Amino acid sequence: MRLNKYLSEQGECSRREADRLIEEGRVVVNGVVAGIAAEVPDGARVEVDGEVISKRVKKAGKKHVYIAFNKPVGITCTTDESIKGNIINFIDHQQRIFPIGRLDKDSEGLILLTSNGDIVNEVLRAENKHEKEYLVAVDQPVNDPFVRGMARGVKIHGKMTLPCKVFKHNKFGFRIILTQGLNRQIRLMSANFGMRVKQLRRIRISNVLLGNLKPGKWRNLTDAELRKLLPNRTEW
């Protein structure tokens, strides 16, 4: 089994996070620092940051965890518990969970977390067109050229963003719906038009709504939400 898949199946982290840990030389297999394409033989001793990862046996009837969390400003979306204000310690869930994607430390709103590393890429891949909806407040009035320009796409990180849906929300605010999630995407897109983002709140991921969930609180996803979010899976 590939090492990144092994780590995700043990509930250690997502495959994407596993790749990062491996690239940073923090994963050891049978006493040897693992490479990015490493395989895990049966009975191997796997360590992350010096801690042995035990093979976890899923108990009969025990389901993976899938939660919706209203992240407050100041919480960092990382599984590194040495970082002050990390999302894992803040939630303090009884099971080992990790975020699906991220929200900037200065942003707030809906983020999903799970113990099932196999579904992370399925949710995040842009080609699966899972919409993410945000309410954004900026420091200058929102006008039609700004709305049209944002919707067409903006060059950030050396490439054009995908076309998206943008609507004026009020004089200093807009609503934007994306199907991709580049680092600090909305802030960088707005900066291209001389706008500084003052507040950014995610209110929807695909069919999962933030609703009345209060900042700092979380809830379990319903079976109906999971069926629509992960239509290609028969179990979660």
**Range 62-67 average pLDDT:** 82
Give pTM, 2 decimals.
0.76
For residue 59, the model assigns a pLDDT of 44
What domains are there in the chain, each with its CATH number? 3-52 (3.10.290.10), 66-125+211-229 (3.30.70.580), 131-205 (3.30.70.1560)
The better pLDDT of the pair 188, 7 is held by 188
- Helix then strand count (H, E) for the chain reads 7, 15
Catalytically annotated residue among 19, 92, 104, 106: 104
Summarize the confidence of residues 198-219 as an average pLDDT.
96
CA contacts within 13 A on the Cβ side of 71: 32
118 classed as catalytic = no
Q: Is the pLDDT of residue 57 over 50?
A: no
For strands 159-160 and 155-156, give the pairing: antiparallel
Alpha carbon distance 49, 52 (integer Å): 9
Which pLDDT belongs to residue 95?
85
